[in-house]
């Protein structure tokens, strides 16, 4: 009997890489998707094109306990990767209430349903380096105090604490991955890295002359999403459940990302990038950089893709896509406004 895995948020960047990994490992893979995605597969299931006929998708709403309960009862998974969330930090400032509803209740529903229906199921919760927020130590590790700076960050702290409590109170094999930013050509267009790579492609194609961004000095620890999904899987293969930081240990500013992207195509970002107040956040996380030494020691996990290679891969993919050769994304291209689109809600990062 193959192992059976359930991925919530399977249509997102991480969900699609994880689905590919689990299919390659011989798992029977199930994923929850919003009904609207099943009705528009060309766009919304595009990231799953390599595995679409090897996985089973179920229409479900992570915001409804009845819906989550029904799917888990039906699938009876051995492993559950709970990735579905409202994952765009900026949007959480516009609508704190629905961010809490999706992210906190969604996680509680998954944990609660698994506890009742399949207590042996191993469950992964997608924690985030946004939980550290205004961190008081650099780099951040599993013992660093949380100081979230957005309702998104707060919702992830709540999910992390719920996961820990299910582990301690009910002996669930429940783990949190504290993942730092992870990117790829499949990244949603609203996140800054993809906004830069796709904006640059549009500039090269003559579709626009400028790229408007917010805070160029914010620093992040950017890794490759495909490698981060491998870490998720490894966390569920351990003898004991535990939480792990997943990061590269390197930090770069948004400005560095612009510089690397534009210089890759022999342009100077200063000729194209403008700062626009609309894209600044009410409370910013200035610096995130992770210490993944525990993951290296226990999971034998290490990042491989360098910052420069990640930037190049994203730029090259967007330049090819705009020339009409291929597309990696599930959403229609935005105009680089960076604003929230209701289509993106409840997708994993």
Measured from the CB atom, the residue of 181 and 334 that comes closer to ligand GDD is 181
Q: Which residues are catalytic?
A: 128, 130, 152
Place of tokens 């783990």: 175
| 180 counts as binding ligand GDD under rule CB under 6 A | yes
Residues 6+ apart with CB under 8 A from 31: 6, 7, 8, 10, 11, 15, 19, 48, 55, 56, 57, 58
Check residue 167 for interaction with ligand GDD (CB under 6 A): no
The distance of closest approach from Cβ of residue 129 to ligand GDD in the complex, given in angstroms and rounded to an integer, is 4
Q: Is 281 in the site for ligand GDD (CB under 6 A)?
A: yes
Residue 243 engages ligand GDD in binding (rule: CB under 6 A) = no
Is residue 250 close enough to count as binding ligand GDD by CB under 6 A?
no
Phi and psi at 191, nearest 5°, equal: -80, 150
In 3D space, the residue among 104, 18, 106 whose CA is nearest the CA of residue 55 turns out to be: 18
Report how far residue 276's alpha carbon sits from residue 296's, in angstroms, rounded to the nearest whole number. Answer: 39
Of 107, 129, 229, 327, the residue at the interface with ligand GDD (CB under 6 A) is 129
In whole angstroms, the minimum distance from the beta carbon of 230 to ligand GDD comes to 17
Nearest distance, CB of residue 127 and ligand GDD, angstroms: 8
Residue 23 binding ligand GDD, by CB under 6 A: no
Does 338 bind ligand GDD (CB under 6 A)? Our answer is: yes
Structure token digits, residue 26: 């011989």
Shorter beta-carbon distance to ligand GDD: residue 90 or 305: 90
Helix (H) or strand (E) segment spanning residue 220: strand 219-220
Q: Is 133 left (phi over 0), alpha (psi -120 to 50) or beta?
A: left
User: Measured from the CB of residue 75, what is the shortest distance to ligand GDD in angstroms?
Assistant: 25
Counting contacts by CB under 6 A, is residue 331 touching ligand GDD? no
Q: Of 77 and 159, which has the nearer Cβ to ligand GDD?
A: 159
Find the shortest distance in angstroms from Cβ 245 to ligand GDD.
Answer: 11
Pair 180, 246: CB distance under 8 Å: yes
Residue 294 and residue 142 in contact, taking contact as beta carbons nearer than 8 Å? yes
Task: Tell me if 245 contacts ligand GDD by CB under 6 A.
Answer: no
> Can you tell me the distance from the alpha carbon of 116 to that of 129, in angstroms, rounded to the nearest whole number?
30
Report if residue 220 touches ligand GDD, rule: CB under 6 A.
Answer: yes
Q: How many CA atoms lie within 13 A of 225 on its CB side?
A: 25
Encoding tokens for residue 89?
């930090």
Which of 99, 151, 181, 197 is the binder for ligand GDD (CB under 6 A)? Answer: 181
Say if residues 129 and 153 touch (Cβ distance below 8 Å): no
Question: What is the distance between the alpha carbons of residues 258 and 199, in angstroms, rounded to a whole number?
Answer: 10
Do 71 and 60 meet the contact criterion of CB atoms below 8 Å apart? Answer: yes
Q: Is 112 in the site for ligand GDD (CB under 6 A)?
A: no
Asked if 138 touches ligand GDD (CB under 6 A), the answer is: no
Task: Provide the token pair at 261.
Answer: 């992207």
Q: Give the interface segment with ligand GDD, choosing from 2-10, 29-37, 192-200, 310-318 (CB under 6 A).
A: 192-200
User: Does residue 192 bind ligand GDD (CB under 6 A)?
Assistant: yes
82 binds ligand GDD (CB under 6 A): no
Which residues bind to ligand GDD, rule: CB under 6 A?
87, 89-90, 128-130, 180-181, 190-193, 195, 213-215, 218, 220, 254, 279, 281, 284-285, 288, 338, 349
């Amino acid at each position: 009997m193959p192992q059976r895995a359930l991925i919530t948020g399977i249509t997102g960047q991480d969900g699609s890489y994880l689905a590919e990994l689990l299919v390659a490992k011989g798992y029977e893979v199930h994923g929850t998707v919003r009904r609207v995605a099943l009705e528009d597969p060309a766009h919304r299931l595009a990231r799953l094109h390599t595995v679409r006929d090897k996985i089973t998708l179920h229409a479900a709403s992570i915001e409804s306990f009845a819906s989550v309960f029904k799917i888990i009862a039906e699938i009876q998974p051995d492993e559950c990767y709970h990735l579905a969330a409202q994952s765009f930090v900026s949007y959480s400032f516009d609508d704190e209430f629905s961010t809490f509803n999706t992210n906190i209740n969604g996680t509680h529903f998954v944990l609660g349903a698994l506890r009742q229906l399949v207590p042996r199921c191993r469950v992964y919760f997608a924690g985030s380096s946004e939980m550290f927020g205004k961190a008081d130590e650099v780099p951040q590790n599993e013992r660093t105090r949380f100081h979230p700076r957005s309702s998104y960050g707060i919702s992830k702290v709540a999910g992390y604490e719920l996961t820990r409590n299910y582990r301690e109170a009910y002996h669930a094999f429940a783990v949190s991955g504290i993942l730092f930013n992870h990117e790829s050509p499949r990244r949603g267009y609203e996140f800054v890295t993809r906004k830069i790579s796709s904006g640059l492609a549009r500039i090269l194609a003559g579709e626009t002359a400028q790229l408007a961004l917010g805070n160029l000095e914010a620093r992040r620890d950017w890794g490759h999403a495909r490698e981060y999904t491998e870490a998720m899987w490894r966390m569920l293969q351990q003898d004991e459940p535990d939480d792990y930081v997943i990061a590269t240990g390197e930090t770069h500013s948004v400005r560095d990302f612009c510089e690397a992207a534009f210089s890759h195509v022999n342009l100077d970002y200063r000729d194209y990038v403008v700062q626009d107040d609309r894209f600044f956040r009410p409370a910013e996380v200035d610096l995130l950089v992770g210490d993944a030494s525990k993951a290296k020691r226990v999971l034998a996990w290490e990042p491989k893709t360098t910052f420069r290679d990640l930037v190049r891969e994203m730029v090259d993919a967007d330049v090819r896509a705009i020339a009409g050769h291929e597309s990696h994304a599930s959403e229609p291209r935005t105009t680089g406004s960076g604003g929230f689109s209701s289509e993106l809600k409840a997708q994993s990062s």
